[in-house]
C-alpha cells in the first residue's frame, strides 16, 4: 500500500544513512532516494544508437512481402552457403580420393574408410534410414543391413550395385530377380497346401513344428513349387533375389501366419534406384558404410 503524506516540502533525510528519501512510504517503510548513475543512462542511449546502426547494417525490418536488406545485403543463408563451400573445399582432396579409389581400396585404407563412413552417415540418415532404420536395423519387410544375410549379395560391389540401381525400381539395371508369385491368391495352391508348405519352410530353418505335423506333403509341394527359386534345401538364389529360408533371419517374420501370408500373396520388395539422386562418391561411401555395419562379405 502506498501512503502519501501531505505535509511540508522539505526533503526528508534518513537519520541512519544521511540519504534523502523519495517520500514514498509503504507500511512505514520509506524508500531512500538513490538515483541510478548517469552513465547508466548513457549506456541506454548507446544501445538505442546501436539498434539504429543494426537496422542500417543488417536485415531487420519486415516489409509487406520482403524485408530491409541492410547496407551490405548480408544474410545468414549466404553465410551458410559460404561455410558449406569452405567445408567442401576442405574435404575436396579426400573426396577426390574417394572418387578415384575402388571400393576395395577404400575399405582397406583406415583413413579412407573412416572418411567414407563419416561422409555416409548423414547421407544414410537422410536417404536410407526412413526404411532401413537409423542404424540400418531394418524392420518388417525392410532388410536389416547389419546382419549377414543378403538377398542380392553382400560384397562391396554388389551392395553398390543395389544402391545405384535399386530393386524392382524400373531402372534398366535394377535387381529384378523373380518376384514371388501369389500361390494362394492366384489359385496355384490350395489353402491346405499352403499351410503344409508353410510348416515345411519353418522346419527348414529349424523352427520346430508341432511333432504331430506331417512334413512329407509340405516337402513335396516345396520341391514342386518353391525349390526352383529357393533351392531344394531352401538355401535361396541371389541371382533371383530368392532369400535363404534355412537360416535364422526372416524379413517378414518367422511365425506361421507371416509365412503363410507370403506364400498366399507372394512377395516382391522394392527399393529406389539412387544413382539419379545421389552422386557417385556418396553412393560409394554408402556402400562402404553399409558393408562396414557388420555383415559385409568379401
Partner 1 sequence: MQAGGDIALALHHAHAAQPPLLELVKDAMGAASPAASVRPAPDVPEPDDEGPLYVARRKIYPQRVKGTYRTIKWIVLFVTLGIYYGLPFVRWDRGPGAPDQAVLIDFPNRRFYFFFIELWPQEIYYLTGLLILAAMTLFLMNAVAGRVWCGYLCPQTVWTDLFQTIERWVEGDRREHLQRDRQPWTVERLGRSGLKHVLWLMLAWWTGGAWVLYFADAPTLVKELATFEAPLLAYVWIGILTFTTYTLAGHMREQVCLYMCPWPRIQAALTDEHALNVTYRYDRGEPRGSVKKSAALRVQGMPAGDCVDCYQCVYVCPTGVDIRSGPNLGCIQCGLCIDACDTVMAKIDRPARLIAYDTDLNIKRRQEGQPELYHIVRMRTVFYAGVIAIVAAVMAYALATRQSEGISVIHDRNPIFVRLSDGELRNGFTVRILNKSLERRSFVLTVEGLADIDLKIVGDTVTSGPMAVITVGPDQSHELRVLVSTYSSLPPAASIPLTFRITDAQTGQRASAVDHFRGP
- The residues in 266-295 that bind partner 1, with binding defined as CB under 8 A, are 292-295
Question: CA 12 to CA 212: how far, in whole Å?
Answer: 107
Q: Is 23 near partner 1 (CB under 8 A)?
A: yes
Judged by CB under 8 A, the stretch of 128-136, 174-182, 214-222, 278-286 that binds partner 1 is 128-136
Task: Look at the alpha carbons of 158, 163, 167, 171 in this order and tell me if their dihedral is positive or negative.
Answer: negative
Question: CA 234 to CA 218: how far, in whole Å?
Answer: 13
**Torsion over CA of 248, 251, 254 and 259, rounded to 10 degrees?**
-130
Contact 229, 179 (CB under 8 A): no
- Backbone φ and ψ for 113, nearest 5 degrees, come out as -65, -45
Instruction: Rank residues 57 and 248 by Cβ distance to partner 1 and give the closer one.
Output: 248
**Residue 12 DSSP SS3:** coil
Contact mark string toward partner 1, 218..237, x via CB under 8 A: --------------------
Task: Give Cα separations from 203 to 103, 199, 209, 227 (angstroms).
Answer: 38, 6, 6, 15
Q: Is 93 near partner 1 (CB under 8 A)?
A: no
Judged by CB under 8 A, the stretch of 62-70, 102-110, 191-199, 214-222 that binds partner 1 is 102-110
DSSP secondary structure code for residue 247 in this structure = S
Q: Is 147 near partner 1 (CB under 8 A)?
A: yes
With CB under 8 A as the contact rule, the residue among 86, 134, 178, 276 that binds partner 1 is 134
With CB under 8 A as the contact rule, the residue among 92, 122, 130, 135 that binds partner 1 is 135
Residue 235 beta carbon to partner 1: minimum distance, rounded to whole angstroms: 11
Cα 64 vs. chain centroid, distance in angstroms?
A: 38
Judged by CB under 8 A, the stretch of 9-17, 59-67, 76-84, 278-286 that binds partner 1 is 9-17
DSSP secondary structure code for residue 169 in this structure = S
Query: If binding means CB under 8 A, how many residues of this protein chain bind partner 1?
Result: 59
List contacts with partner 1 (CB under 8 A): 3-12, 14-20, 22-25, 27-28, 30-41, 107-108, 110, 113-114, 133-138, 144, 146-149, 244, 247-249, 292-295
Amino acid at each position: 500500500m502506498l501512503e502519501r503524506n501531505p505535509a511540508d516540502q522539505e526533503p526528508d533525510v534518513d537519520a541512519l544513512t544521511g540519504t534523502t528519501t523519495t517520500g514514498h512510504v509503504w507500511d512505514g517503510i520509506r524508500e531512500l532516494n538513490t538515483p541510478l548513475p548517469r552513465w547508466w543512462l548513457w549506456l541506454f542511449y548507446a544501445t538505442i544508437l546501436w539498434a539504429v546502426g543494426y537496422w542500417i547494417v543488417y536485415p531487420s525490418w519486415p516489409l509487406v512481402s520482403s524485408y530491409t536488406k541492410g547496407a551490405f545485403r548480408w544474410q545468414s543463408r549466404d553465410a551458410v552457403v559460404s561455410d558449406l563451400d569452405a567445408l567442401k573445399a576442405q574435404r575436396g582432396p579426400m573426396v577426390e580420393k574417394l572418387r578415384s579409389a575402388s571400393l576395395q581400396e577404400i575399405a582397406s585404407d583406415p583413413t579412407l574408410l573412416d572418411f567414407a563412413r563419416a561422409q555416409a552417415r548423414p547421407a544414410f540418415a537422410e536417404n536410407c534410414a526412413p526404411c532401413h532404420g537409423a542404424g540400418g536395423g531394418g524392420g518388417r519387410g525392410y532388410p536389416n543391413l547389419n546382419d549377414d544375410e543378403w538377398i542380392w549379395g553382400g560384397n562391396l560391389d554388389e551392395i553398390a550395385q543395389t544402391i545405384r540401381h535399386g530393386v524392382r525400381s524400373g531402372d534398366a539395371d535394377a535387381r529384378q530377380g523373380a518376384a514371388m508369385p501369389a500361390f494362394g491368391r492366384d489359385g496355384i495352391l490350395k489353402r491346405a497346401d499352403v499351410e503344409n508348405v508353410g510348416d515345411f519352410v519353418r522346419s527348414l530353418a529349424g523352427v520346430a513344428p508341432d511333432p504331430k505335423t506331417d512334413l512329407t506333403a509340405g516337402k513335396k509341394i516345396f520341391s514342386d513349387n518353391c525349390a526352383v527359386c529357393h533351392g531344394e534345401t531352401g538355401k535361396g538364389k541371389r541371382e533371383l533375389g530368392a532369400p535363404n529360408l534355412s537360416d535364422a533371419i526372416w524379413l517378414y517374420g518367422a511365425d506361421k501366419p507371416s509365412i503363410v501370408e507370403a506364400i498366399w500373396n507372394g512377395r516382391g520388395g522394392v527399393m529406389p534406384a539412387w544413382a539419379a539422386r545421389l552422386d557417385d562418391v556418396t553412393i560409394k561411401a554408402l556402400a562402404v558404410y553399409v558393408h562396414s555395419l557388420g555383415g559385409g562379405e568379401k
